[in-house]
Chains A and B, each alone.
Chain A
Amino acid sequence: MSRAADTLQTHAEVAKLAQLLDHEPAKLEFLERLSLEDVRSLRERITEALFDAQDASLRRLAVASKLLPPAVSASIGERAFGPLLSARLAGLLEPSKAVDMAGRMQPPFLADVAVALDPRRARDVISRIPADQIAAITHELVAREEYVTMGRFVGYLSDGTILAALEQMDDKALVQVAFVLEDKSTVSELVGLLPKSRLAGIVRAAADNDLWVQALDLLGHTTERQRKEIVAATAELDHAALEALVSAVIQYDLWQEVLAIAEQDATLQRKLAERVRSLPAPRRRELAAEAAAAGSIKRLGVLGEALAGRRSKAGSRASSGP
């Protein structure tokens, strides 16, 4: 992962933690200098502490709910308990009853519950919620730009349900949800579920919304075949988009991540080759070694030559131009 991706992931983790504590993220900014692993581990421990704090009372409520018909329980959940307590209770209820209750609740309320829910504690409930309801909740979460919440749930949904959720996500949301997935090994599975017609949207969404750090991180977690398909599906990027991509590579040091895309695009190779010469020599040698080890240096054309410290005719022309 690039340093920029690491920084953004830690920022997203602190946002999750602030959400959990119902605290202003700005006041917890000091946590961003910790490692991603430490912030994530802290969030998990706080989750445990909060869920365990009223465990006995919540368990008694869960037992009491067995005496009530689901319609009454759902009404109490929505009107009396609110989203926070409903989220705490969800994992303590009989899963079939919890799903029945959820089916009687409105998507905006369920979206509020999703924000406060610890999916690990309600996995049996989440996995039984029908696809159309997941789609309605996702629609709500996308409208609220709750990417972090969606990212926490993906690992607990079946393929069919994920497909229903993906249909509700535009490409911008998809790139941002993939970026905050807790288990990055699921990125390639997620991309594998996308219809081919949507692959082009990933790079386009990055270009249109300045999401190159997130998109390059996503591409870095796909299989080589998927990466090729995504780049091949992308219509040629216009001048402005290419300039934005090159700027993001320089600003966030995304050289390693961009090489996979550059293999497919001669214009991008040329633009990056112009900039690679200004990199410190050790960094350039490091990238060249990585590209050589991956067997991609020859496929990088003039960029490969620039990385290797050779000055190509095209490169000379570019550097001597106005």
Chain B
Amino acid sequence: MSDKQVEKAFAELCSQLGGAAPEGLRELDAAQLRLLTAAIADARHRQAEALAVAGDRALGHIPRLLRGPIRRVVR
């Protein structure tokens, strides 16, 4: 696997992290770096989905009178 591929995969990981990744991770090969990047992206996706679902579910537990003000704050 070429250094170029590792560099590209390392840059994608940094982008997913929103900043620099530890330099030691350059020891990994491109496939491992891509697997790690995908795992982080999956975790972020799951977290965003959970948040969307929880927001809707939460409204069911809020007294009716407060639902309007809460919706206005959250959206």
Contact = CB atoms under 8 A, between A and B. Distances in A.
Interface of A: 20-23, 27-28, 30-31, 33-35, 37-38, 41-42, 45-46, 48-50, 52-54, 57-58, 60-61, 63-64, 67-68, 72, 75-76, 79-82, 84-85, 88
A79 to B, nearest CB: 6
B68 to A, nearest CB: 11
A80 B58 CA distance: 5
A250 B61 CA distance: 60
Q: Chain B interface mostly helix, strand, loop or mixed?
A: helix
Given A80-B60, A80-B61, A82-B50, A61 B43 contact: no
B16 A49 contact: yes
Given A21-B40, A85-B54, A60 B73 contact: yes
B69 A67 contact: yes
A82 B54 contact: yes
A200 B64 CA distance: 59
A77 to B, nearest CB: 9
A30 B66 contact: no
B61 A75 contact: yes
Given A23-B39, A45-B19, A72-B61, 10 more contacts: A30-B32, A38-B22, A38-B25, A48-B17, A75-B61, A76-B62, A80-B58, A85-B47, A85-B50, A88-B47
B27 A61 contact: no
Contact of B47 (A38, A41, A84): A84
Interface of B: 16-19, 21-25, 27-28, 32, 35-36, 39-40, 42-44, 46-48, 50-51, 54-55, 57-58, 60-63, 66, 69-70, 73-75
A54 B25 contact: no
11 contacts: A34-B22, A34-B28, A45-B17, A46-B17, A46-B40, A46-B43, A49-B16, A52-B18, A67-B69, A80-B54, A88-B47
B47 to A, nearest CB: 6
Given A80-B54, A85-B51, A67 B66 contact: yes
B63 to A, nearest CB: 7
Given A42-B21, A54-B51, A22 B70 contact: no
B25 to A, nearest CB: 6
Contacts of A58: 51
Given A28-B39, A61-B74, A53 B62 contact: no
A33 B28 CA distance: 9
A68 B17 contact: no
A184 to B, nearest CB: 20
A21 B36 CA distance: 10
B64 to A, nearest CB: 12
Given A38-B25, A45-B21, A63 B73 contact: yes
A50 B48 CA distance: 10
A68 B44 contact: no
Contacts of A30: 28, 32
B61 A21 contact: no
A71 to B, nearest CB: 11
Contacts of B17: 45-46, 48-49
A57 B51 contact: yes
Residue among A50, A52, A63, A80 with the highest chain B CB neighbour number at 10 A: A80
